[in-house]
């Protein structure tokens, strides 16, 4: 009877104890679920942080809510040289004690072993009297570091559910730290890139100023040289005319021929000076690049050459011409030189037959061809004709100073294109102008 009474008295106490335990357990689960549910908002707040230490300090209270650690520290991997470096410890006065434990675990391999575990590890300290929490911080792409914490002596090894909650928090910390490190690296790279762009821009501006100064010097030199070279020519012509007028009947035919040769030489030298000036003006006095219609440019040149075309009985056909970005006057100059040459270097006794073609390449360039049935050019001489004052024929046979093709190539170069010729003696010549559509 006494035993039954004792059992009846003990049962309520046990039931109350179990109910209290279950209530505490439910309260813990409720707090844990509430904590996990709040991780999303907490993780979003981490995005505003760029310093891993600051992220860990903000996250430490979350860990402390699950387990009241006496000390908690963050170790991150330093890649140069590879090692674990302490970044923060709370409280700070425990830093040396935590470091001694970490050095011990690094030496005996515990640290490396803990990094490979998916769940937190609970290990004994060097003395065997303290229990420590080791949680690796890693993402799918890299190992970042380790959380090291000491639990109070009054607490036993936590329940597995506690491990899960701590592991979830650690995963969020690892992701936030990785994002912060990536952001820091990207910011540093952007800053380096901005500095590089700034340096390149300053260098480009400096080069531009230098180039503008050089262009001004070239222009000034050209004008001065033109004046200084023309002045002696004017005097030669003036005194030659005066001498011829002064001598009149006293001069014989031979002297008159000499003076005529001198006048022709002076005129030719003046023409060569004009050619040099035209060559220098291609880059220094060109017009602004703009969208033009090559049909109009070509038609303008054909009108200008109407007399030559009529006198030589030349026939000129052309494909529909494209529109592209170019200097309108310089493109007209190129057409004028090439068509004039096609007429001039014709086969004796044969009317010139000229065709202008236009084909668009796959790379966005237009290939303009000017084909004739003239005397042709030897392959060995085809590059020589683009040099200033280079001539393949005598002055009497084909008059000129040998500057036209040099000017044409320089104009085409200015437009980012190319100019070349394909020809053989007696089989005519084809000059090809390759120009970008967009300029």
**Residue where one domain finishes, among candidates 284, 301, 317:** 284
> Is 266 in the same domain as 308?
no
User: Are 237 and 321 within one domain?
Assistant: no
Q: Rounded to the nearest 10 degrees, what angle do helices 2-46 and 52-66 cross at? A: 170
pLDDT, one tens digit per residue, over 35-93 is 565 555 555 655 556 678 888 887 788 787 778 888 888 888 876 666 778 888 888 88
Are residues 120 and 236 located together in one domain of the fold? no
Residues 164 and 266 placed together within one structural domain of the fold: no
Instruction: Answer yes or no: is pLDDT of 238 > 90.
Output: no
Give the single-character DSSP code of 120: -
| Highest mean predicted confidence (pLDDT) among 175-184, 212-221, 300-309 | 300-309
* Least confident piece of the model among 6-10, 176-180, 190-194: 6-10
Find out whether 84 and 111 touch, Cβ atoms under 8 Å: yes
Please compute Rg for the chain using Cα positions: 46
Domain housing 226: 209-284
Residue finishing a domain among 123, 152, 185 = 185
Examine the domain organization and report whether 214 and 279 are in the same domain.
yes
Residue 298: which pLDDT band, with cuts at 50, 70 and 90?
Answer: very high
**Domain assignment present for 22:** no
User: Which tokens go with 229?
Assistant: 């070279």
* CATH number assigned to the domain comprising residue 121: 3.30.450.40
Q: Hey, is 207 helix, strand or coil?
A: helix
pLDDT in tens, 345-392: 888 888 999 999 999 887 878 999 999 998 888 888 878 888 876 666
The per-type count for the chain, helices as H runs and strands as E runs, is 10, 12
Which CATH number belongs to the domain containing residue 312 in this structure? 3.30.565.10
How many structural domains comprise the chain?
A: 3
Please tell me whether residues 103 and 143 are part of one structural domain: yes
| Residue 353 vs residues 14, 55, 328, 371: alpha-carbon distances, Å | 120, 82, 26, 8
Q: What CA–CA distance (Å, rounded) separates 45 from 49?
A: 7
Distance CA 250, CA 252 (A): 7
Task: Give residue 339's pLDDT band: very low, low, confident or very high (50, 70, 90).
Answer: very high
Residue among 201, 121, 129, 207 at smallest CA distance from 167? 121
Residue 369 lies in a domain: yes
Judge contact between 53 and 46, C-beta under 8 A: no
Residues 239 and 302 reside in one and the same domain: no
For the chain, the distance separating the N- and C-terminal CA atoms, rounded to the nearest angstrom, is: 113
Q: With 50 as the cut, is the pLDDT of residue 1 above it?
A: no
């Amino acid at each position: 009877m006494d035993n039954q009474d004792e059992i009846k008295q003990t049962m309520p106490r046990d039931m109350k104890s179990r109910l209290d335990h279950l209530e505490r357990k439910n309260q813990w689960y409720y707090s844990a679920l509430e904590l996990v549910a709040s991780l999303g908002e907490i993780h979003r707040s981490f995005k505003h942080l760029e310093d891993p230490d600051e992220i860990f300090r903000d996250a430490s209270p979350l860990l402390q809510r699950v387990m009241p650690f006496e000390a908690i520290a963050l170790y991150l991997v330093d890649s140069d040289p590879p090692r674990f470096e302490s970044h923060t410890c709370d409280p700070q006065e425990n830093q040396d004690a935590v470091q001694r434990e970490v050095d011990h675990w690094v030496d005996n391999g515990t640290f490396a072993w803990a990094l490979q575990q998916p769940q937190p590890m609970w290990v004994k300290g060097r003395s065997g009297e303290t229990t420590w929490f080791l949680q690796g911080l890693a993402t799918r792409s890299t190992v970042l570091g380790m959380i090291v914490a000491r639990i109070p002596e009054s607490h036993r090894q936590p329940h597995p559910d506690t491990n899960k909650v701590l592991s979830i928090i650690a995963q969020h910390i690892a992701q936030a730290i990785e994002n912060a490190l990536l952001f820091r690296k990207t910011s540093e790279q952007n800053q380096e890139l901005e500095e590089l762009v700034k340096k390149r821009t300053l260098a480009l501006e400096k080069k531009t100023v230098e180039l503008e100064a050089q262009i001004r010097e070239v222009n000034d030199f050209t004008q001065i040289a033109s004046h200084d070279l023309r002045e002696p020519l004017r005097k030669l012509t003036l005194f030659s005319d005066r001498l011829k007028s002064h001598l009149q009947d006293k001069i014989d035919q031979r002297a008159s021929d000499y003076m005529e040769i001198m006048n022709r030489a002076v005129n030719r030298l003046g023409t060569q000076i004009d050619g040099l000036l035209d060559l220098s003006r291609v880059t220094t006095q060109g017009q602004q690049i703009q969208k033009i219609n090559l049909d109009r440019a070509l038609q303008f040149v054909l009108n200008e050459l109407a007399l030559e075309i009529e006198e030589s009985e030349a026939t000129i056909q052309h494909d529909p011409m494209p529109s592209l970005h170019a200097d309108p006057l310089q493109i007209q100059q190129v057409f004028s030189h090439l068509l004039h040459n096609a007429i001039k270097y014709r086969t004796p006794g044969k009317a010139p037959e000229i065709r202008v073609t236009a084909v668009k390449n796959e790379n966005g360039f237009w290939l303009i061809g000017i084909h004739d049935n003239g005397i042709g050019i030897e392959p060995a001489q085809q590059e020589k004709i683009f040099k200033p004052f280079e001539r393949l024929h005598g002055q009497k046979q084909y008059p000129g100073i040998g500057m036209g093709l040099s000017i044409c190539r320089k104009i085409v170069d200015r437009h980012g294109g190319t100019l070349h010729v394909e020809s053989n003696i007696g089989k005519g010549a084809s000059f090809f102008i390759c120009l970008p559509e967009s300029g």
